[in-house]
Amino acid sequence: MIHARLLGASLLLGVLALAGCSQGTSTTTTSAPSSAPAAPVASPAVSVPAKFAAGGVRVALIRQLSSGDYFEQWLAGAQAEAQALKITLEVSSGDGNNDKQALNLEQAVQQKADAIIVDHGFADTVQPAIKKAADAGVPLVAFDVDPGTPEAVALTQDDHQIAELALGALKADTGGTGDVLYVYVSGFAPLDRRNEVWTQFKKDNPGIKEVAQIGVVNNSTASAVADQAKAALQANPGVKAIFAPYDEFAKGAAIAVKELGLQDQIKIYGADISTADIGVMTEPNSPWVATATTDPSNVGRIAVRAAALLVAGEPVGPELKIPPALVTQKQLRDGGIANIEQLTGAVPELTTPDVARVPWAAQ
């Protein structure tokens, strides 16, 4: 995500994430990539609901932002799972415009989607539309945004643990002392949760000093953060580490550190991962040494499975939380890991097939 958050009135998520958008204003029906798994095999013990067997289920995926590696891989996972479950996934993006996202959500209700997935967003703008959907009896899954109602399933990464894992690595490498540059934008649920851990971490480790805070979320988050980070690092030459808990933040910070030639002095501790992020972490002299993450594709799959269960009248939630893992630069290099597929093979805890398992499908 964030993923990740990263704002003016037209900003994202990642966010939080969160980490330009190319999707238009209209809702589009998307299909899974050619590498998507084959249609699920029905369990001999559980019959496939008639609506799913006929392929008539429509799920609206209402996104706040679609740009950035995390969000692209998240969508790919959601599309693959939708195809496997014979769901038509109708995708729209607010392109960082919160009012546009809320309008897309209201339109999904009017168009009588069988279920709605809300992907990131600001509570103030999406909660009124979520309430309309709940009042209309539409099943809801809200990922990394507070839905404001118990009628929606709240799907989250364990953002507190994500921050704890990344900061644990930072503390181990710095010895718990030193100047740190922090990248953060408030208002994104996952980033706000990660910020809670950072706030407590500073109290528990008085040797760590936050010398500056930067952050922006837009359609070019990494490049914008790079510009901010360069200025902050030039103003604070003693920085030893950067805590950037969203992969677009971390990529921007890495650009700044490399352009200033400070790779030997400054290390970056991030959150979230993608194949592109792995490339940044493993390139020669990369300052990005650790990231705490879930697999974004897996999270997208879980969101669709949760929506499918709700459509079928199966119990879900009210909260689903996905545990993360710490991934280090050394681990990636030593294992020759170059993409997410290799990573999930080496770190199987990133796959969580039992979260929102669909009983009538082979997972």
Q: Does 43 score more than 90 pLDDT? A: no
The confidence band for 17, taking pLDDT boundaries of 50, 70 and 90, is very low
The confidence band for 14, taking pLDDT boundaries of 50, 70 and 90, is very low
CB 273 within 8 A of CB 323: no
- 109-156 pLDDT, tens digit per residue, is 999 999 999 999 888 899 999 999 999 999 999 998 999 999 999 999
Architecture of the domain spanning 159-294:
3-Layer(aba) Sandwich (3.40)
Query: One-letter amino acid identity for 277?
Result: D
Q: What is the pLDDT of residue 229?
A: 98
CB 363 within 8 A of CB 86: no
User: How does the average pLDDT of the chain come out, rounded?
Assistant: 87
Encoded tokens for 6? 């990263």
330: how many CB neighbours lie within 10 A of its CB? 12
The confidence band for 159, taking pLDDT boundaries of 50, 70 and 90, is very high
Q: What is the pLDDT of residue 307?
A: 97
C-alpha 176/C-alpha 168 separation (Å) is 9
Whole-structure pTM value: 0.78
Q: What is the pLDDT of residue 6?
A: 34
- 60-89 pLDDT, tens digit per residue, is 999 987 877 788 899 999 999 999 999 999
Q: What is the pLDDT of residue 211?
A: 98
Q: What is the pLDDT of residue 45?
A: 60
The confidence band for 53, taking pLDDT boundaries of 50, 70 and 90, is confident
By C-alpha distance, which of 216, 168, 234, 159 is closest to 190?
159
**Stretch 211-237: mean pLDDT, rounded?**
95
- 314-344 pLDDT, tens digit per residue, is 989 789 999 999 999 999 999 999 999 999 9
Q: What is the pLDDT of residue 317?
A: 76
**Stretch 216-233: mean pLDDT, rounded?**
94
Q: Please report which helix (H) or strand (E) contains residue 165, including its range.
A: helix 159-174
Q: Where are the domains of the chain?
A: 159-294
Q: What is the pLDDT of residue 39?
A: 43
289: how many CB neighbours lie within 10 A of its CB? 17
CA distances from 159 to 36, 163, 290, 315 (A): 28, 6, 16, 24
* Strands annotated E in the chain: 28-30, 57-63, 87-93, 115-119, 140-143, 152-157, 178-183, 208-214, 239-244, 267-271, 288-293, 319-322, 325-328
The dihedral over CA atoms of 262, 340, 90, 147, expressed in degrees to the nearest 10, equals -60
C-alpha 83/C-alpha 69 separation (Å) is 21
Q: What is the pLDDT of residue 56?
A: 87
* Least confident range of 28-37, 66-75, 181-190, 196-205: 28-37
The confidence band for 205, taking pLDDT boundaries of 50, 70 and 90, is very high
**Stretch 267-295: mean pLDDT, rounded?**
96
Percentage of residues of the chain with pLDDT beyond 70: 87
Q: Does 184 score more than 90 pLDDT? A: yes
**Stretch 165-188: mean pLDDT, rounded?**
96
Query: One-letter amino acid identity for 292?
Result: A
**Stretch 179-208: mean pLDDT, rounded?**
96
The confidence band for 22, taking pLDDT boundaries of 50, 70 and 90, is very low
- 89-114 pLDDT, tens digit per residue, is 999 998 888 899 999 999 999 999 99
Q: What is the pLDDT of residue 216?
A: 94
Q: What is the pLDDT of residue 41?
A: 47
